[in-house]
Amino acid sequence: KFGELVRLDVWEGEQAGVQGTPSFRINGKLIKGAHPFETFQELIEAELEKSP
């Protein structure tokens, strides 16, 4: 029932360069591995500062 959705999700991950979990994308940047909340907070705040 969900096989096609799973295959599409895997394909999209491969296209994005994901090779393992956890993996995250923040404004197009691939972040691999587990990181503390503060790391994500800093990355997101830095990206927000770049926006007009």
Bridge partners of residue 30, in order along the sequence: 25
What is the pLDDT at residue 51?
A: 84
What is the pLDDT at residue 5?
A: 93
Buried b (16+ CB within 10 A) or exposed e, 17-49: ebeeeeeeeeeeeeeeeeeeeeeeeebeeeeee
pLDDT tens, 2-52? 999 999 999 998 998 888 889 999 998 889 999 999 999 999 999 999 988
CB atoms within 10 A of CB 13: 15
Instruction: Answer yes or no: is pLDDT of 1 > 90.
Output: no
